[in-house]
Amino acid sequence: MKRLLAAFALSAALCASAADAPLPQYSHDQTLGVADCTNSLCHGSAQLWKDSRVLQNEYLIWSRRDKHARTYAVLLNARSQQIAKKLGLTQPPQNASQCLDCHAHNVPPARRGPKFILSDGIACESCHGPAERWIRSHVEPNATHAQNLANGMYATSDDVQRARLCMSCHLGTADKFVDHRLIAAGHPRLSFELDTFMQIEPQHFRIDDDWVERKGRWDTTRAWAVGQAMGAAQLLRTLVDNKRGHAGLFPEFSLFDCHACHHLMSDKRDFHLRTDVGLGRARLNDSSLLMLRQIVARVDAAGAPRFDAQLDRLQRAIANGDDALAQARVTLQECEQALARIVAYRQFSADDLRAMFDGLLEQGLNGDYSSYQSAEQATMAVQSMTDLMSRIGVVRAASVQPALTRLLLSVADDEQFRPQAFQGALRDLRAAVHAGKQK
């Protein structure tokens, strides 16, 4: 019991420190601009430097291959201009804070250095923090990562901090949020999973012994688990927010399953008796909560039945209007407790990975992923886990790739999504993983 209490105290401290650290956009330090990082002796080299702790070519990777370098440019296209017009914005999107808050490093003019350029989009300091206090000290021979953080660098290597940063745009916060009105005007529906997006991001760092020594172990399973817990918590936090959770008389529709309403009237949807809330009733987008079921089963086996029961109560409370906000607050507490346990959990093992993978497949074959958004989230999780299992030698990549490709195709088009086809692809993947298991 003492060990458990100590673990919870540690995880609470970690979560508190993450909550206290300002996101780069809201730091009081000055943003210097990309130009201060692009020298060939710094991060603008055309080739890797021998014996360097970092690649030295980070700027070229970002400028040539990273979509974050073109987020501001998106605001100039015809679609963005049309969205702004439909919303009745008084400014074009490239000048509107509502758009710039996620499409650029939109810091106040007083905190912009002489080389700062707004059109750089999501640039170096958008993620690593305004460099005013650490630009010089971080290149000193004896500089430590802890000292850099103390000087205002953002802790992107920390799972909780990284999730907060990425989700602030890719899912939203109390300050910036892609609501149903913005989606109705033409903005794409937001979809995010931390580990998957990290894997497809052009990597501008190298995980080696030196990196681990300075910043700790890189655990993709833990990153996935942290991301799901924080995503679920943010969904519920928005739901109970008096300013964000409602749009006039109605709840904020972007928090719900889009395709429960957006489909042809002739398209009669199949419902799963255990997980669906009934005909004609909107279902909360519980995709991250469904993923979290399997994570809680590993990090808190004793509490897993209680967690499952809370999720079922939440959906039915929302559908029936039975004090749904009170139940959402209770479920939010469960998610926050799950996050604390994940942070305090021992290193995720191959057994943990395989158990969660099997659990996700079983949950899907039981029909729990009848909504497109839950199937999409499960596919991202399964793809990430399959890749990791192949890298650590649990399964042979060549044996599972055809089945994994069929699974990806089953969620490639939300308008063509069919739960039965998705379940068939899951069944094929389970068989392929079993057949391809390393001896």
Q: Which tens digits make up the pLDDT trace of 87-120?
A: 999 999 999 999 999 999 999 999 999 999 999 9
Q: Is the pLDDT of residue 16 over 50?
A: no
pLDDT at 144: 92
Residues 6+ apart with CB under 8 A from 344: 7, 8, 10, 11
pTM of the complete model: 0.91
Q: Is the pLDDT of residue 270 over 70?
A: no
Counting Cα atoms < 13 Å in the Cβ hemisphere of 1 gives 0
Alpha helices in 139-208 (DSSP H): 145-150, 159-170, 180-184, 194-200
Q: How far apart, in whole angstroms, are the C-alpha atoms of residue 380 and residue 292?
A: 14
Q: Is the pLDDT of residue 185 over 50?
A: yes
Q: How far is CA 365 from CA 98, 192, 409, 410, 411, in A?
A: 41, 23, 17, 14, 15
pLDDT at 274: 47
Closest residue by Cα to residue 373 from 254, 236, 220, 267: 254
pLDDT at 347: 87
Q: How far apart, in whole angstroms, are the C-alpha atoms of residue 232 and residue 248?
A: 24
**Cα end-to-end distance, the chain, whole Å:** 38
User: Which tops the pLDDT comparison, 248 or 331?
Assistant: 331
Strand, coil or helix: 36: helix
In this structure, how many other beta carbons lie within 10 angstroms of the beta carbon of residue 14?
18
Chain position carrying tokens 């398209």: 267
Range name among 100-109, 125-134, 238-247 with the lowest pLDDT average = 238-247
> HEC profile for 380-392?
HHHHHHHHHHHHC
Q: At what angle do helices 324-344 and 2-20 cross, to 10 degrees?
A: 110
Confidence of residue 170 (pLDDT cuts 50, 70, 90): very high
Strand, coil or helix: 250: strand
Q: Which residues of 114-123 are buried (b: 16+ CB within 10 A; e: fewer)?
A: eebebebbbb
Residue ranges per structural domain of the chain: 23-154
**Cα dihedral value 97, 98, 104, 110, nearest 10:** 20
Tokens representing 178 are 């892609």
The DSSP secondary-structure symbol of 189 reads P
pLDDT digits (tens, 9 = 90+) for 279-312: 667 789 999 999 999 999 999 999 999 999 999 9
Specify whether the CB–CB gap between 139 and 157 falls below 8 A.
no
In this structure, how many other beta carbons lie within 10 angstroms of the beta carbon of residue 354?
16
Backbone angles phi, psi at 96, to 5 degrees: -90, 125
Tokens representing 208 are 């080696």
Tokens representing 209 are 């012994």
Q: Is the pLDDT of residue 68 over 90?
A: yes
